[in-house]
Amino acid sequence: MARRGPALLAAVLMTTGLMALPSGAQAEEGKLKIGFMATLSGPPAALGQHMRDGFQLGVKELGGKLGGLPTEVVVEDDELKPDVAVTKVRKLLESDQVDIVVGVVFSNVMMAIAKPVTDAGKILISPNAGPSPLAGKGCSPYFFSVSYQNDQNHEVMGKYAQDKGWTKVALIAPNYQAGKDALAGFKRFYKGEVAEEIYTQVNQQDFSAELAKIAAAEPQAVFVFMPGGSGVNLVRQYRQAGLAERIPFLSAFTVDETTLPATKDAALGLFAGAQWAPNLDNPANKAFVAAFEKEYGYEPALYAANGYDAAKLIDAAIRQAGGKTDAETLKTAIRDAKWQSVRGDFAWNKNNFPVQDFYLTEVVKRDDGKFVTSRVSTVFPHYGDAYADQCKMD
């Protein structure tokens, strides 16, 4: 568990709901109230924890104020249940009267809450989920992704597999929107034979049947999208089955700092696609990684980096807006704000998704024995997503 110091709790002002304003109360003038939603229970809870801790660190570093305004953060666990998420986001909007909603981890949850939030005329900032409908025809001037469009990290691995000259690859992902986007993204750049295209249940833990299929197909590589606890089990079972030594394992959101404390040596040498890694060589990132590890005692994943960036973006946007927190002002201020992302170069595409660099990363073991991802090479420089041209803002 991450440790929580009194300074962090005081700076963020709100982490459990115990300090929330009374039902129906409006945020005070000159203050900012943010509703933060993530998956904080069940097998994928580590993803939400990283995202929340990164965001809270950003708030703490700014003295508990974003844009100079005293900031209260109301945290909600969506439980990876879209119906629960809708109920809780309505509470954030109607009872808590938040100014901005920040979240979520999973795309099926995002597809459930995006319309209620944007229809209410509130800004929604995603530090992770980037489903294709919200990048394309369903884009909104009130929705901003500070992460990536779902397909992109998978496209990195499709390009890598294509460049390696592999002609037969197996694919595996969970059966929900992000899983479909993942394999679509991989296939956008990989033009060889797909030996197996396997969709699993969300939160599946036993992959013996799927791994038997992959072994029988004898592909030259396997591409995997399996986040959270499911990814931990899949990596372990892949190594135990002896496949890691025979069939290269490519992934996105499967071998990262949320899963490596559990997979350890089982993940060593496995590859992934990402828009961030702890060893990116820029001042903002070096400071973030050091501060995060000091504050929480564990290594940040890309979810933490994105959460941290979300806090710094909001701070810059409110300053750009002269302290105003209404959505009509903020939607322009967010696009115009100047801030230092931990990933380095960052620009907005026409659909309010980032244009940024994407990397091939590899799992390595640090001198202190910790397992982390390390940038190997840049696969896509200054890269926008495939859906931006479908976006027609009102």
All structural domains of the chain: 6-148+280-344 (3.40.50.2300), 151-274+358-389 (3.40.50.2300)
Tokens describing residue 249: 């394992």
The DSSP annotation for 146-211 comes to SS--THHHHHHHHHHHHHHT--EEEEEEESSHHHHHHHHHHHHH--SEEEEEEEE-TT----HHHH
pLDDT of residue 5: 43
Helix (H) or strand (E) holding 124: strand 123-126
Q: Is 107 helix (H, G, I), strand (E, B) or coil?
A: helix
Supply angle C-alpha 233, 256, 373, rounded to 5: 135
In Å, how far are 8, 15, 59, 62 from 32, measured between CA atoms? 17, 15, 12, 13
Under 8 Å between Cβ of 224 and 256? no
Each residue's pLDDT, cut to its tens digit, for the chain (394 residues) gives: 344 443 443 344 444 333 333 333 334 568 999 999 999 998 889 999 999 999 999 999 999 999 999 999 999 999 999 999 999 999 999 999 999 999 999 989 999 999 999 999 999 999 999 999 999 999 999 999 999 999 999 999 999 999 999 999 999 999 987 888 899 999 999 999 999 999 999 889 999 999 999 999 999 999 999 988 899 999 999 999 999 999 999 999 999 999 999 999 999 999 999 999 999 999 999 999 999 999 999 999 999 999 999 999 999 999 999 999 999 999 999 999 999 999 999 999 999 999 999 999 999 999 999 999 999 999 999 999 999 999 998 6
Closest by Cα among 138, 39, 120 to 85: 39
pLDDT of residue 29: 67
pLDDT of residue 3: 40
pLDDT of residue 175: 93
pLDDT of residue 176: 84
Under 8 Å between Cβ of 59 and 71? yes
Do the bridges between strand 65-66 and strand 69-77 make them parallel or antiparallel, or are there none, so unpaired? Answer: antiparallel
Helix (H) or strand (E) holding 279: none
pLDDT of residue 393: 84
In Å, how far are 74, 156, 320 from 381, measured between CA atoms? 36, 11, 28
pTM greater than 0.85:
yes
| Residue 376 main-chain phi, psi, to 5 deg | -105, -45
CA distance 251 to 249: 7
